[in-house]
Amino acid sequence: MAEFSILCFLIGAVLGQRFRVFVLLPVTLAMALIALAIGLIAQLSFFDGLKAFILCALAAQGGYVFGSLARFWLAAARAGRIFARPLKTARSSAMRVR
């Protein structure tokens, strides 16, 4: 179950890099169907399957937040590198007036 949660976190991080929040709803619904099928195959009880689904859904959402923050952090770092300008300070502008 830990491996599946890690996989869901990584999938959420990739989705956070590329898509908007609305993509989480279809992914969560697809995850519910997959968890139901895997639970039936593995002969898990309903509550064990539900617990696994909830943990993976939370991991996917946490991964989405991580991926979104990483995307914005990288964009800010890139923008700072492209648009870097020297700062005008009060001392340097006052020295030019004299």
Q: Which residues contact 23 (CB under 8 A, 6 or more apart)?
A: 15
Question: What is the pLDDT tens value at each position of the chain, 98 positions in all?
Answer: 788 888 889 988 998 888 888 888 898 899 888 888 888 888 888 888 888 889 989 999 999 999 988 888 887 877 766 665 666 666 655 555 55
Which tokens is 56 given? Answer: 């993976």
